Amino acid sequence: MIVLLPVLWPIAAGAAVLAYTGIGNSKKKASAGSPASGETAADRASGSDASGTGSGAVAGSAFGHSRITALDLIYMAALALETVLVIMAAAGGGSVRLFSLTDTLTLGLRVDGTGSLFAVLTSVMWLLTGIHSVAYMKHEEWAERFYGFYLIVVGVLVGLDYAADLVTLYVFYELMTLTSLPLVLHELTKEAVQAGMKYLFYSVGGAFLALFGIFYLANVCGDLSFTAGGRFTAEMAAGAPLLLTAVFCMIVGFGTKAGMFPLHGWLPIAHPVAPAPASAVLSGVITKAGVMALVRIIYFLVGPDVLRGTWVQAAWMVLTLLTVFMGSMLAYRENVFKKRLAYSTVSQVSYVLFGLSLMNPIGFTGALTHVVFHSAIKTCLFLFAGAVIVVTSWKKVDQLRGLGRVMPLALAAYTMASLALIGIPPFSGFVSKWYLATGSLASGTGALGFIGPVVLLISALLTAGYLLPIMIRGYFPGQDFDGKEIEERGLAKKEPSLLMLVPIVILAAATLLLGCFPGPLVAFVEKIAALVM
Amino acid sequence: MSPTLMLNLEEEVSMVLFGVGFTMLLLHRNLIKKIMGMNIMDTAVYLFLAAKGYIEGRGVPIMTDGVQDASAYINPVPSGLVLTGIVVSVSTTALMLALTIRLYERYHSLDLDRILISMKMEEEEQL
Amino acid sequence: MSFVQNFPFFSIIIAMFSGIVSSVLSGKKARAVSITAITVTTVLSACVLAFCLRTGQSYTYMMGHFPAPWGNEIRAGVLEGLTAVLFGVVMFLSVVGGLHYTEEDVEPSKQNLFYIMIDLMLSSLLALIYTNDLFTAYVFVEINTIAGCGLIMMSQTGRSLTAAIRYMVMSSLGSGLFLIGLSLLYDVTGQLLMSPAKEAVARIVADGSYQIPLLVIVAVVSVGLAIKSGLFPFHYWIPDTYGYATPTASAVLSGLVSKGYIFLLIKFFYRVIGTENAVHSHIINALFVFGVAGMMFGSLRAIMQTDTRKMIAYSSVAQIGYIYMGIGLGTQAGMIAAIFHIFSHGATKALLFISCVGLYKASGDRTDFLALRGSGYRNRLAGAGFLIGALSMVGFPMLAGFISKLLFATSAFASPHKMLITLIALAVSTVLNAIYFLRLLIGLYRPTKSGSFAEMEQAEQSGRGGTAGSGFAAPAANPWTMRIAIVCFIILNLILGLFSQPIVRAITDGLAMFG
Amino acid sequence: MYDRLLAVPVFLPIVAGVALLAMNGWIRKEKRERTMQWLVEALVLVNSLLVAWLIAGCGGRSGSLVLFRLYGQLTVMFRMDRMGSFFAGLVAFLWPLATLYAFEYMEHDERRPAFFAFYTISYGVTLGVALAGNLVTMYVFYEMLTFATFPLVMHPMTTEAARATRQYLYYSIGGAAFAFIGLVTVLAYSAIGTTGFVPGGMIDPAAAAEHRNLLLFVYVLAFFGFGVKAAVFPLHDWLPKAAVAPTPVTALLHAVAVVKSGAFAVLRFTYFSFGTEILRGTWAQWIVMAAALVTITYASTMAVKEVHFKRRLAYSTISNLSYILFGASMMSPLGLAAALIHLLAHAFMKISAFFCAGAVMHHTGKNYIYELDGMGYRMPVTFACFTISSLSLMGIPLFAGFISKWSLCEAALSLGSEMSGGAGGAVGQVLPYIGVAVILYSALMTGIYMLSVVVRAYFPGFVQQVKEAVAGGSARKAAAVGAEAGITAAGAGAAAVIGAAHGQNDVGIKKEGNQDPSWLMLLPLVIFAVAIVAVGIHAGPVLRFLALIGGEAG
């Protein structure tokens, strides 16, 4: 029964926040509501500048974090409780049957190794980003709506991770798309809504493509609950002519959320448009939901032995490598900072998918470890981007000259995270890339097995190409840089508020810590790999 | 073929006449000619019927000198039919002639097509 | 020889006699005489029908006890009795329905002439139904033609005169062919009475002589009667004649006259040639093809019309096509369907013509669609009459049209190779019927462009009292005679629709004893 | 005892409607419209209760009542078997709510008595189609339905309405004419002499064997004949044009009664008259299935293009109806059960969508999608229900739409595997899978054309729009209310209700912009939304009942 709590609690809390804010707002206004939010709203109404949050942000941050409202505290407490519940559920284990849609279709939750790994990762990332979002949301409108939906999405994600069978997973997958939509189009500008619609229709399209596979599997083997190592025996697979096509449809369908090649168009458009904490969560965690779905189908339903060596595996490897290379190439040439990070997400998540497509224990370990490391790193990078926007409202990469003078500590954290992402040894990225490369070589898929590591290395080089220049230009802006603009706006030595800085630093420290002592995490993942393969 | 052709001379003549009458009635535009065609057609039929009643070597079925035996006369039934037919043709012809007069008074022409055209023009004026 | 067996002869003579007598009477009295004549003949026919049903077989009535080659005969059976009754009812209602408007259209001096024509028409129809002798049939065909021409001419408009002359020309063509057919038959069989002629024909067919003359006889007679009843290729005189005569005349002409000739043709097939020989002679297939073509062509032309009277006339061409298709199927079931359609079309078409007159009067005597818009409200009863008539034509369940459509479809299955054509033709022509009838029906119940709907309403209510708001002078209320006629026609239609079972059984028995 | 009462629910509304027509003038003169409306609602309610009681009473044992003998052995007969009671129950449940909705919608219409008269008559006639015991009765009521509903389409009395009516009549009569051929063939070849409905079909096998191709050709003709009312592809054009009629008409007739009786007639004809043995695996089945699939793709693509709100919903109806026909064309018990569940689900989804469209049109006079910016705030409850019905239409789990899509695809795949043995020839092996692909494609299209309305309602294109939409009220509050009432989390039902309750009493919204219609319109909407979620979450019992019908007739 404990499994149900982490799923229901945030959804209920989110719904309560949304319902409460509706009423709360009018009351708050009556009781001399907090000047800041009232004032910023008025200021915005009068403010005429085009960039919307730009000038408003300057005035807001001046107050620092003295304006934490009661709602913010409840919000952070809810997130903390959620993390605790998830960890307890992971420890407690057990399973629960929610309700039965029809006699054959029943929704249920069950705790297992991969499920708890993803759930804990999600809740921790959610907590840190939540803390950051409290400060960030001071400069946005409709913060309460953001908090509400932010809580609901984490509940849905934990539900997805702990799903006992494919139908429950599909239910939570669809709900995740719908509930994360308000996060994407939070600012209600024209391009935000356009991007939101694109995000919605791509994800729904991918989901329906995957649904074809689900229908087919349901027809072939009736009960869709997950069992380690997959339920399909050789002769069952022989009996179903279209099984491989169905699995491929599911790979491409669920791959949409992970930004895999054919249906990745929405990611670089949707992420930058969302507010920074939302895009951090979108890139860092929600893409992992797509990965989770694929792990469940390949390793817990169809079984790797059935797919190993088939055209599906080969096609999948080609697609992932193509995305890895294309993502980093596009990121390299992108000038808008958040768009660059979005392209980097496209390529990094395909690292994970490439690991999964190898279908051997080493590759599997590399993939799961990269899931953990990438979500930590990418969340840190996006939070840093958020902090930069809040403090200096600079969006373009070439504006970021002399950032070292403005926020040296934050930039240091950024450097550690980007080094980890590139895969420099003491940092965590190196561990997962190591397992991925060795897994690919040992996967026995002939030429593709060798091309894999080559593409990974080229992409690592490109990652350095698009992340490090920001650090270099930040600390060493070069001779002709006069820093006039920083003085005028009094930005020198103005670190982002504490609430923003702490999560960034924690995440940067985590990348270093996991890099040095990956032992326990890798052992945990290898135990799952042994179970599954 | 030729011997029987010579034998039924009356039938052939009446058939030819019927064809003439029929086409006259159908194709001619002048109303009077149509009526004449109709009469030709009817007379052709009556010729045919009369010829059917004739038996070689027998007299007219009028009892003049007290002869009672049926074999002396030709078959009277077709003649009876011809009489009724003539009455019918006369009445139809009378009616069509009356109609033609009425049309002539109104449209001053005997040509059926011209009558139709003038009738349509007359109707447009009324609307 | 019970007394009832004289009734067929009596009814013909009464109708003839009343026609002769009313030539000296004034309009009003002539009308009374004619209406009584119609009622009496219908009652007599009903007695004959009852008698035949009771005895269960038909009987022949030799005029003056003269035997076969010379004498003249009348044959009455269940089918003849039923047809006579229904024709009588339709004629009675048409005359009563159109009473008021006949007075308006025809000059006072010529009123009695109109009723003479009606009586002659009645007697010739009854004769065509009952006669068993071919030459008598020819004589009454001619009387029918002359009476019909008289009825057409009665309204003295330019168009009706030209229609009359064209009608006379075509009819005399038809009767000429019929006459030559009779003479050839007399030549070949030596008989003019139908029953002996049948044995003679059977003997001839048995020993295989005279094949070609027989074929010619059947062809000539069929074409002759087809011309007279307005089958497809010879139908161009129908729109003017049916459309522009007085309401009674057009109802009688379209409803009964063409049906009389078809009934004679059926009698000719059954009683003289014998159905198997007729089918064998492939003339039946020709009739079938012309019938189907007529259905399609009639409906298509009707769609193109903008004048209501012409539209309804063209729809008669289509319905006659239905009947000939039924006969053309060549099976017993096909014949039953054809005969039932004779009755149902007769009743429905007469209803349509009579109720249309009410609509014309409510739209300032104009007959095109635009004028009729909204007339359904201005003249409620006429609108309802037209509604029932149109629905029956389209084959709406519970009405006569549906049953005849059902009979045609079930009969189609009896003749395999014609089945598909019949079914498709039925479906397509129902759609075509729907198109032009319902288009008008919608027009009837739409408010005129000029006034909004509310204004239309007062116009209709105030119409009773003073001048109407919406452009058309509100009509004087429907004459009570017309109201009764429309209501009776609707009831007749419903009877044919709902209680068709006894009628169909009567037709089947009639056909069995018809041969 | 129940048998004798079978005819009452059919003829009570018809008689009442005719009486109402007769009193038309009197009612309008004495301004008695109000009382007349409540009288009509009471009558409809009584009739529905009677139907419910009969369904409960008859239960499995299907009593029958012969009304009168039309011709020969063709009798007008009512019978309450499971399938009949299912459709009758659905119609009886929806009609009172639709009448309630029609009260407010037709408030200031000048010809209300005539409208409600024909509205009630078509209720009786639809029940006639549902309870028909044999093919002739169903055909008779099927044809009378056209004539009962065409005055309703004509109601606005504009030239456009007249043109739409004319087209509606021609298509329906044409369809009925071709269906008539089917009726007659069944009569000619029936094993039991009459056209009574026999689960599993009643054409006698001997005749079927020798006239095989003819029977198949006639089946295809009859399918398109009955299919006209179910808006199959080539003959669908009348439905979007009929959107010109007032909303209660388009909602009830063109989303539920008329089109559903078309689909129901096809199901009855296929499974209870013609029988599936003759048709399974034959070229006729593939033609019919292909027609359904073409309609689904065509209509859902057209719906995306359509800008007029109600015409878009009309196109969506066309594509969803062909889901039912696709289920019917599977000729298997699973196919029939799937078709019936979609019939039920679509009825609820579409009628609530149309009612929302009607509410928007009635209160704000907006007909086109691009005018709907920010409507989510003005009419929170209406758009909450609209969101639920569009999510369900898309096939999002936890809603009824998902269940019906699931069972349809399940049936298609089982047919596919069954046909893989080559029984149905090459086409037979491929078509079911294409079918599943088409259903998913059209689900995506439904997502696009429905959610674009929802997103436009709650997240209008630019910020100013929101301000002006709420006319000065604080943007923050209105948006929060709207958003939370709109796209809701897993507890969709709960949030919607909170939103609804909340939307009502929040003083801030009330005076400025809330144009939610009165409870008369909202009650049906909320009931439908709750029904959709209920069936979505727990469809077990409904599916078991339908599987019974499927198994019996399959």
Q: What is the pLDDT of residues C21-41, one digit of tens each?
A: 988 888 888 889 999 999 999
pTM: 0.83
Across the interface, do D483 and A22 touch by the CB < 8 Å criterion? no
Residue D451 has pLDDT above 80, yes or no: yes
Chain C segment 471-510 residues within 8 A of D by beta carbon are: 498, 500-501, 504
Token pair in block for residue C183: 């003479």
In this structure, is residue C239 part of a structural domain?
Answer: no
Contact B77 C145 (CB under 8 A): no
D343 within 8 A of D260, measured Cβ to Cβ:
yes
> Cβ D143–C396 below 8 Å, yes or no?
yes
Q: Residues of D with CB below 8 A from C420's CB?
A: 214
B49: nearest CB among C69, C165, C183: C183
CA distance D153 to D151: 5
| Closest approach of D95 to chain A, Cα-based (Å) | 27
CA-based nearest distance B103→chain C, Å: 7
Is C125 inside any structural domain?
A: no
- Which of D417, D430, D484 is the best residue to mutate to test the A interface, defined by the most A CB atoms within 10 Å of its own CB? D484
* CATH fold label, B2-57+71-126: Helix Hairpins (1.10.287)
* Within a domain: D243: no
Scanning C413-432 for CB atoms below 8 A from D yields 413, 420, 423-424, 426-428, 430-431
* CA–CA gap between residue D410 and residue C76 (Å, rounded): 69
D 404-423 residues inside an 8 A Cβ radius of A: 406-407, 409-410, 413-414, 417, 420
Q: Nearest CA of chain B to the CA of C505: how many Å?
A: 39
C198 φ/ψ angles, rounded to the nearest 5 degrees: -65, -45
Written as six digits, the tokens of A72 are: 């913010």
Predicted confidence at residue D317, as pLDDT, reads 92
C446 within some domain: yes
Which residue in this structure is represented by tokens 């439904």? D446
Q: Is D90 inside a domain boundary?
A: no
Q: Do A102 and D543 touch (CB under 8 A)?
A: yes
Residue D505's pLDDT band (cuts 50, 70, 90): very low
pLDDT averaged over chain D? Answer: 81
Counting every residue, how long is chain D?
554
Chains C and D touch (3+ CB pairs under 8 A): yes
Q: Classify residue C106: in a domain, yes or no.
A: no
How many Å apart are CA C251 and CA C148, to the nearest integer? 12
Give the chains touching B; criterion: ≥3 Cβ pairs < 8 Å. C
Mean pLDDT of chain C: 85
Q: How far apart are CA C331 and CA C416, in angstroms?
A: 11
pLDDT at residue C123 in the model: 93
> For residue D461, what pLDDT is reported?
61
Q: For residue D78, what is the enclosing H or E element?
A: strand D74-79
Any domain includes C510: yes
Average pLDDT score over residue span B103-124: 89
Give yes or no for B24 touching C (CB within 8 A).
no
Reported as a pLDDT band with limits 50, 70 and 90, residue C289 is very high
C45 lies in some domain? no
Contact call for D397 and A170, based on CB within 8 A: yes
Q: What is the pLDDT of residue A369?
A: 93
Binary contact (C405, D154; C-beta < 8 A): no
Average pLDDT score over residue span C157-164: 87
A171 and D398 in contact by Cβ < 8 A? yes
Q: Which residues contact A228 (CB under 8 A, 6 or more apart)?
A: A112, A299, A300, A531, A532
Q: Residue A369: what residue type?
A: T
Evaluate if residue D367 carries a pLDDT over 90. Answer: no
Distance from the Cα of D372 to chain A's closest Cα (Å) equals 15
Scan for tokens 């001839």, then name that residue.
Answer: C204
- Composition of chain D by helix, strand, coil, percent to 5: 80, 5, 20
* Cβ-based contacts of D498 with chain A (< 8 Å): 15, 19
Number of Cα atoms under 13 Å in the Cβ half of residue A442: 14
- Which pLDDT score, from 0 to 100, does residue D475 have? 38
Say which of D162, D173, D185 has its CB closest to residue C430.
D173
Nearest to D154 among C410, C431, C442 (CB): C442
**Residue D65 main-chain phi, psi, to 5 deg:** -135, 120
Nearest C-alpha neighbor of A426 from the set A361, A516, A510: A516
Question: Who among A18, A171, A218 is closest to D484 (CB)?
Answer: A18
Which pLDDT does position C90 carry in this prediction? 93
Count of domains forming chain C: 1
* Lowest-confidence region among A20-29, C325-334, D91-100: A20-29
Say whether pLDDT at D476 is over 60: no
Chain C residues whose CB is inside 8 A of the D110 CB are 453-454
Q: Specify whether the CB–CB gap between A372 and A363 falls below 8 A.
A: no
The residue of chain C nearest to residue D215, with distances taken between CA atoms, is: C420
pLDDT of residue D125: 92
Mean pLDDT calculated for residue range A49-57 = 35
What pLDDT does residue C192 have? 83
CB < 8 Å to D408, chain A: none
The phi-psi region of residue C274 (left if phi > 0; otherwise alpha if psi is between -120 and 50; otherwise beta) is: left
Higher pLDDT, A57 or D413: D413
Span D436-458, average pLDDT: 90
Q: Are A46 and D501 in contact (CB under 8 A)?
A: no
| For residue B54, pLDDT beyond 80 | yes
Point out the least confidently predicted range of A417-431, B77-91, D254-268, D459-473: D459-473
Other CB atoms within a 10 A radius of the CB of residue C5 amount to 17
Contact D140 C405 (CB under 8 A): no
SS3 D45: helix
Chains A and C touch (3+ CB pairs under 8 A): no
Percentage above 70 pLDDT, chain A: 91
pLDDT at A103: 80
Query: Is a pLDDT exceeding 70 seen at residue D226?
Result: yes
CA distance D498 to chain A (A): 7
Number of residues that make up chain A: 533
Show which residues on chain D lie within 8 Å of chain C, measured between beta carbons: 25, 68-72, 74, 110-111, 139-140, 143-144, 147, 150-151, 154, 157, 162, 165-166, 169-170, 173-174, 176-178, 180-181, 184-185, 187-188, 214, 218, 221
Question: What is chain A's mean pLDDT, rounded?
Answer: 83
Tell me, what's the pLDDT at C265?
A: 92
Helix (H, G, I), strand (E, B) or coil at A95: strand
pLDDT at D554: 57
Which chain B residues are within 8 Å of C183, Cβ to Cβ?
45, 48-49, 52
Partners of A141 on chain D (C-beta within 8 Å) are 475-476, 479
pLDDT at residue C26, rounded to an integer: 83
Residue C69 pLDDT > 50: yes
Verify whether the Cβ–Cβ distance A215 to D484 is below 8 Å: no
In D, minimum Cα distance to A206 occurs at D444
Q: State the ipTM, two decimals.
A: 0.79
Q: Is residue C468 part of a domain?
A: yes
- pLDDT single digits (tens) D300-355: 999 999 888 889 999 999 999 999 999 999 888 889 999 999 999 999 999 989 88
Task: Report the alpha-carbon angle A22-A25-A30, nearest 5.
Answer: 140
- Inter-chain residue contact A22 with D502, CB threshold 8 Å: yes
- The nearest alpha carbon in chain A to D394 belongs to A204
For chain D, the domain total comes to 1
User: What DSSP string describes C337-377?
Assistant: HHHHHHHHHHHHHHHHHHHHHHHHHHTTT--BHHHHTTHHH
**Cross-chain Cβ contact A15/D498 below 8 Å:** yes
Interface test with chain B among C113, C116, C179, by most B beta carbons within 10 Å: C179
pLDDT of residue C343: 93
Q: Is the pLDDT of residue D200 over 80?
A: no
What's the mean pLDDT in A285-311? Answer: 89
Q: Which among C397, C426, C438 has the least Cβ separation from residue D140?
A: C397
pLDDT digits (tens, 9 = 90+) for C422-436: 988 998 998 899 888
Q: Which residues of D touch C422 (CB under 8 A)?
A: none
Confidence of residue A1 (pLDDT cuts 50, 70, 90): confident
Alpha-carbon distance B116 to nearest alpha carbon in chain C (angstroms): 7
Angle between helices D112-131 and D33-58 (to 10 degrees): 10
The C-alpha of D13 sits at a distance from chain A's nearest C-alpha, in angstroms, of: 36
A-proximal residues of D, 223-242, CB under 8 Å: none
Q: Hey, which of B63-77, C124-138, D3-17 has the most confident mean pLDDT?
A: C124-138
Q: In this structure, are residues C97 and C482 in contact, taking their beta carbons and an 8 Å threshold?
A: yes
CB spacing of D480 vs A178 below 8 angstroms: no
CA dihedral A120, A123, A126, A130 (to 10 degrees): -130
Q: How far is A370 from chain D (nearest CA, A)?
A: 30
CB–CB contact D536 A101 (8 Å): yes
- Each residue of D272-286: pLDDT tens digit? 888 888 888 888 899
Note whether B116 contacts C: Cβ–Cβ < 8 A. Answer: yes
**pLDDT tens-digit profile of A163-204?**
998 999 999 999 999 899 888 888 888 888 888 888 999 999
Q: How confident is the model at residue D59 (pLDDT cuts 50, 70, 90)?
A: low
Q: What are phi and psi of A183, to 5 degrees?
A: -65, -40
Alpha carbon distance C60, A456 (integer Å): 111
User: Does residue D356 form part of some domain?
Assistant: yes
How many interface pairs between C and D have CB atoms less than 8 angstroms apart? 89
Range of D334's domain? Answer: 282-554
Its domain, for residue C420, covers: 282-515
Between C454 and D85, the higher pLDDT residue: D85
Residue at C299 is within a domain:
yes
Compute chain C's Rg from CA coordinates. 23
